[in-house]
Structure 1
Amino acid sequence: MAEYRIVTDNASGFMVQARRWWWPFWLQVGFNSSSSAEGARQWIEREFAYAARKKNAGKVVEHLGRWTS
Structure 2
Amino acid sequence: MRWTDIQDIAIELEEAHPDKDNLNLRFTDLHKWVCELEGFEDDPEKSNEKILEAIQMAWIDERED
Which structure's residues are more often helix, by fraction?
Answer: 2
**TM over 0.5, yes or no?**
no
Relative to the length of structure 2, the TM-score reads 0.41
Relative to the length of structure 1, the TM-score reads 0.39
Q: Which protein has the larger Cα radius of gyration, Structure 1 or Structure 2?
A: 1
Q: Which one has more relative contact order, counting CA pairs under 8 Å at least 6 apart?
A: 2
Which structure's residues are more often strand, by fraction?
Answer: 1
